[in-house]
Copies of this chain bind each other. A is one copy, B any other.
Amino acid sequence: METAELEKKIRERNGRMTRVRKAMLDFFGTAETPLTATSILELLAKRRITANRTTIYRELRFLEDTGVIHEVRIIGHGRSFELSGGHRHHLVCLGCHDVKSVAFKNHLDSEEERLLRDERFRVSDHSLEFYGLCDKCSE
């Protein structure tokens, strides 16, 4: 999503461009991995920006409600979020515990059609995580 588009979405919700919000949008825009409340606090600290943990949680909820970010759940990690659009697939290294978001088209459309037919389940979204070893951790 473009920065301009993000700002537009936020304005629509009567959102203001505050110090913390701006920094968080920046973090989400550049991160290659989903972010947790705690990791966001650490990133803020590096930039010498002080913010209360409560503010981060409230901001995460706001950005999620606004559709700017979405939640990601990965085994062995805390509740995390990433920018909406495109992503939703992750490579989770069981060695160094790093998580990399990868954007790629996959062929789950036929699977989703099958679920609608056989299970009468109407898929609107999906998430896919691969667990294994990254290049560095493969020895």
Residues of A within 8 A of B (CB): 71-76, 91, 93-94, 100, 102, 106-108, 111-112, 115, 119-135, 138
Q: Is the CB of A123 within 8 A of B127?
A: no
With A73-B74, A119-B102 as contacts: A131 and B135 at CB distance below 8 Å: no
Q: Show 30 residue pairs from A and B whose CB-CB distance is below 8 angstroms, ordered by the A residue.
A: A71-B75, A72-B75, A73-B73, A73-B74, A73-B75, A91-B119, A93-B121, A94-B124, A102-B115, A102-B119, A106-B108, A106-B111, A108-B128, A112-B130, A115-B130, A119-B135, A121-B133, A121-B134, A121-B135, A122-B134, A123-B130, A123-B132, A124-B131, A124-B132, A126-B129, A126-B131, A127-B129, A127-B131, A128-B128, A128-B129
Question: Which residue on B lies nearest to A138, using beta carbons?
Answer: B122
Q: Measured between C-beta atoms, what is the minimum distance from A107 to chain B in Å?
A: 7
Q: Is the CB of A126 within 8 A of B120?
A: no
